[in-house]
Chain A
Amino acid sequence: MRALNRVASALLGIVLIVVGLLAAAEAVAAYRDQRPLLLPLRQWYDRLIATTFADRGVLLISIGVGVLGLLVLVSQLRRWQPRELDLRSEENMRWQLRRHSLQQQVAASVSTVPGVREPQVEVAGRQSAWSVRVRAAGRPDQLNDVRSAARSALTRLDVPDTVGLQVDLTTPKRVS
């Protein structure tokens, strides 16, 4: 979403430049009684004064614009997963770790436990206050081994022990 926002903003910037310069150029052309440079302004004008709000097209376009606005609003206001997670900071130094990297490192560590498969690591919370949840397929008696593997990965990533860690194991299906 952040990348999409950035691309959309860059496109908006380009649109503003083109439309702004074109509007200024058309205004100059109109002042000099020249024909419009690019835009069929006369046709637009004639059409807009002939179209009333009662027109069905106006209603449909209004609904379309409103729905588009709602989609934009929802996409911006819903909660985004943090891309970076805050680590312990020092005086003037702020440390952050990429969430994907943390998930990958913890999952890789958990998968080294013999018999434990398909580890899935999720991060819950905000960028500044977060916790880790590990789910994997394994026997219930491996819970401590998985927890210890996950914690050792977190410790290597300099994540303090105060950061929550929840481990859930599901019993692997037996192949008959």
Chain B
Amino acid sequence: MNTGNRVLWTVIGLLLVGLGVVGALVSLDRMPGADRRQSLLWPQLLEQWRRWEGWATAGVIVLGLLAAVLGVLLLRAELRPRGRRHLDDLVSGERARHRPGARPASDEPTGQPPGPAAGVTQVRYRAVAESLERDLRHQQAVHRANVMICGRPDRPEVLLNLTARPGADLAVLRHAVRDALSRFTATTGLTPASVQVNAQVEAGVVSRVS
């Protein structure tokens, strides 16, 4: 997301520079083919608008709605942690076979929304992420842990934000994270395709409990 924002503002910067330079050149009469005595809007615009009223209105509505949709997408990306969407809730199991007409969930979609049925297990995303967070927080070296799982359920990407206790050894922390991820895979059935760990160590005095 940082790179995306940087590209976005670089493009905006370029546009503003271009606009400013062209405006200043025309204003100073240094722009070939442009007349500094021309007005900022041409006087026939209102007549043209009236002549094309239907199309012009439709055009403005479409452009306005497009801008609003882009705004929503941009705002949503900025408000999301790391600009990404987390995994959906996990659903496993099959619809009950004993019911007349019922088909396994893995079959071709019938177009009907799958109703609640026996044998289907749904695990909330938050519960999955929090289970890993709790496991990591129970490690001696870890003070705070924040987990985000995104991507596809068959190729999940795990993002870990870890705050280690003062004096923590990150080599030990690596082992602890690896073990926690093994337990996570065994419990949830999710095998991370990639794991990104962002670590920091708290400042402060090392506390030793004997």
Within 8 A of B (CB), among A7-42: 8-10, 12-28, 30-31
B53-77 residues with Cβ-Cβ distance < 8 A to A are: 53-54, 56-57, 60-61, 63-77
Number of interface residues of A (CB under 8 A): 70
Q: Which of A87-113 contact B (CB under 8 A)?
A: 87, 90, 92-98, 100-101, 104-105, 108
A-B pair number, CB within 8 angstroms: 231
Interface class of chain A by DSSP = helix
Binary B-proximity of A123-166 (CB < 8 A = 1, otherwise 0): 00000000000000000000000000000000011100000000
- On whether the beta carbons of A100 and B20 are closer than 8 Å, the reply is no
**Contact yes or no, A48 B41, CB < 8 A:** yes
Q: Which residues of A contact B13 (CB under 8 A)?
A: 69-73, 76
Partner of A53, one of B40, B69, B75, B168: B40
User: Roughly how many angstroms separate A126 CA and B29 CA in the complex, as a whole number?
Assistant: 46
List the A residue with the shortest CB-CB distance to B43.
A49
Contact between chains at A62 and B19 (CB < 8 Å): yes
**Which residues of the partner chain A approach B207 to less than 8 Å between Cβ atoms?**
none
Residues of chain A lying within 8 A (CB to CB) of residue B57:
27-28, 30-31
Contact of B40 among A25, A27, A52 (CB under 8 A): A52
- C-alpha spacing A62/B30, complex, angstroms: 14
Cβ–Cβ < 8 Å partners of B73 in chain A: 13
A167 within 8 A of B: no
User: A50 at the A/B interface (Cβ < 8 Å)?
Assistant: yes
CB within 8 Å of A: which residues of B?
1-2, 5-6, 8-10, 12-24, 26-29, 34-43, 45-46, 53-54, 56-57, 60-61, 63-79, 167-171, 173-174, 177-178, 192-201, 203
